[in-house]
Every structure is written in C-alpha cells, then in structure tokens.
Amino acid sequence: MSSRFKIQWVIDQANTGKLIKEFLKEQEISKRALTDIKFQGGSILVHDREENVRFKLREGDILKLIFPQEIPSKGVKGENLPLEIVFEDDYLLVVNKPTGMNTIPSREHPSGSLAHALIGYYERAGTEATSHIVTRLDRNTSGLVLIAKHRHIHHLFSKMQQSGGVKRTYEAFVEGNICDSIGTIEQPIGRKDDSIIEREVREDGQYACTHFKVVEKLESFTHVELQLETGRTHQIRVHMSFIGHPLLGDDLYGGDISLIKRQALHCKQVRFLHPIKKKEVSFSAEMPGDMRKVLQG
C-alpha cells in the first residue's frame, strides 16, 4: 500500500500567531514545493482539516504537510538488487555501496546501479519515492551513500552540503610513505583536455580542498584517513596523485594494481544534522574485504 510523503509539526508558543506560509518558510519549505502541493495533489492540514497558507496558527495545532506523489524517472526502472541498508527512516536512507556498482546509470553501465536498486526497493515496499542520491561515489569506490526519500529532503541536504553540513570520512591506501602525519591539499581541479573522464590539477579548475591523516605506514604503502571540504569529481584520487602518492589500484591516476584491482578508497563514515529531527547523527561502515586483505598482507 502506498504511503504519501508527509511532515508534521506541533505548534509551540513561539510560533503562535504566525501564518502557515510564514511558518513553512522558516521550515525551508520552498515556493516550488508549496506550488506542487497546491496544484499537484498535496494537502495542508491543521488537525486533519484542509487549510490555506493564510491560516493563523495557534499553540497546540498539529500542522501536517502532505506532498504530491513523486513519479520515478521513466529512464530508470526498478531492479531487484541487494541493498545493504545501514539506516532508514521516513526521510532518508544510508546505504553501504559495494565496489563495482554505479551510483547512477551511465552509458557504459545502463543498468545495475544504486538508483535502479533504490527504485526497486521502493516499489516492493510501496513507498512513493524516486531516486534522490545526495552523496555519490565512483563505481569502484565502496562505502556509505546518503539518500533522500523525497525531493524536499534532497533540497534540505543540498543546502546543508553548500554550508559544509554533510561530513564524510574516507579511508584509502596510497603508494609510498607520506612524511607528514597530517596535511591539507588545496589545489584546483578541472577536466583534462583530452579526456571526458580524467581530471587533473590545473590553474583554471574549481577550488578543491582535501585533508588527510596518516593512520599507519606499511612497507610499500600508507593507510590514510581523509575528509573533504569540497566535492569535486575524483577529488581524493587527483589530489593524492598530485602529491606523489596515488591510490593503490587506481591505474587511471598512476596507482599500482599489483595488490588490489580497484582504487583502494572507502567512505567509512557520514555525519550530518538530521534535516527534520534536528539531531546530529553519524553512521559507519567497516572496511570491505578486498581492502582488509591488502592490510593483512
């Protein structure tokens, strides 16, 4: 059975006397969302009675916003693929993506992506949702991906990302031994002139900032932990290659593939303020088997 996406508030004394439209603006409900609710089949309810945005709220009122049905993209069909769900509630999902799975479809891999798996999962659960992926990972990068269950939640996460409110921690194995125990790489990244895939550090690129910390130095490589201030395509891979320590397995950027056949990069943690519950939450995913095997020698 379908369950329409909704958000509910109990009005406190501080919000008494406000018009619904004023209150919803403070809750970061966009004008587009309100237009969709008005014209595409949503509802604004106070104590389960339909009201308009000029209704004046009182303490104790239960204000409920019911959003119109979302229609999944016709180009992405649901597929019955395994999903390792780390966390789920009415508003978001955190999924541990395996290596070898695209986050979204590509020309080379038009099926089998996380987006296909999500839509299939929603269809089986009777959830009215389409694919809203907040944080993406490269096909051969493993780890946590944050997903919004509705366009409005995606909108809130997008604003959060712009202000640095979604924190991701990665771990990687890089060639050689890094001298400094901690460091920051601030180098602009842009597309390489002769490639549609490869990126490089270049003066006319976009600002990019990567922080790293050495976890352990091994015989031929270094285990590092990384955090990003920006989210440029291939940012960690480009920056580590630029300083002479490409990721193990990353042959696109000069990495040795003798120990592992994909870039040794894993998103191990994601932290953010829950967009509705307004509580700080954090989720973790263990290092995958192929990387553990390299670490154990």
Residue 285 lies in a domain: no
Confidence of residue 243 (pLDDT cuts 50, 70, 90): very high
Query: On the CB side of 244, how many CA atoms lie within 13 Å of its CA?
Result: 4
Look up residue 5 and give its two tokens: 């996406």
Is there a single domain that holds both residue 58 and residue 74?
no
| Residues 18 and 77 placed together within one structural domain of the fold | no
Q: Is residue 209 part of a domain?
A: yes
Longest dimension (CA), the chain: 69
Q: What is the pLDDT of residue 3?
A: 66
Q: Is residue 284 part of a domain?
A: no
47, 81: one domain: no
* 236 contacts 166 by C-beta, under 8 angstroms: no
Angle between helices 31-39 and 151-162 (to 10 degrees): 180
* Pair 127, 45 in one domain: no
Give the residue numbers spanning the domain of 201.
169-266
Is residue 58 in a domain?
yes
Greater confidence, 227 or 127? Answer: 227
Residues 6+ apart with CB under 8 A from 11: 23, 57, 58, 59, 60, 61, 62, 63
Which one of the listed residues 12, 89, 138, 193 is annotated catalytic? 138
In a domain, 283, yes or no: no
Mean local confidence (pLDDT), 205-229: 96
How many whole angstroms separate alpha carbon 211 and alpha carbon 216?
16
Query: What pTM was computed for the model?
Result: 0.90
Instruction: Specify the pLDDT at position 166.
Output: 95
Rounded to an integer, the average pLDDT of 235-264 is 97
Residues 259 and 173 in one domain: yes
Binned at pLDDT 50, 70 and 90, residue 1 comes out as: very low
Do 49 and 103 lie in a common domain? no
Q: Is residue 216 part of a domain?
A: yes
Place of tokens 């916003």: 65
Tell me which of 163, 182, 216 is where a domain ends: 163
Question: Is 138 known to be catalytic?
Answer: yes
Q: Answer yes or no: do 157 and 181 share one domain.
A: no
Average pLDDT rounded to a whole number, residues 262-286: 97
Domain for residue 112, yes or no? yes
- Listed residues 163, 195, 225: the one ending a domain: 163
48 secondary structure, DSSP code: T
Number of domains in the chain: 3
Domain containing residue 182: CATH number: 3.30.2350.10
Q: For 147-170, how does the pLDDT look when each residue is reduced to its tens digit (9 = 90+)?
A: 999 999 999 999 999 888 999 999
Q: Encode pLDDT of 56-108 as tens digits.
A: 999 999 999 999 988 777 778 889 999 999 999 999 999 999 999 999 988 88
Q: Please compute the mean of the pLDDT values over residues 120-143 and round it to a whole number.
A: 92
Q: Which CATH number covers residue 12? A: 3.10.290
In this predicted structure, what is the pLDDT of residue 127? 83
Residue 43 has pLDDT above 90, yes or no: yes
86 and 155 both lie in a single domain? yes
- Residue at a domain's end among 18, 49, 66: 66
Backbone angles phi, psi at 153, to 5 degrees: -65, -40
- Do residues 48 and 78 both lie within one domain? no
Q: Which residues contact 33 (CB under 8 A, 6 or more apart)?
A: 67, 151, 152, 155
193 and 241 in one domain?
yes
Note whether 32 and 108 are same-domain residues: no
Whether residues 54 and 94 share a domain: the answer is: no
Quick: pLDDT tens for 186-207: 999 999 999 989 999 999 999 9
Q: Does some domain include residue 296?
A: no
Contacts 24+ apart (CB under 8 A), 38-45: 40/68, 41/68, 41/69, 42/66, 42/67, 42/68, 44/20
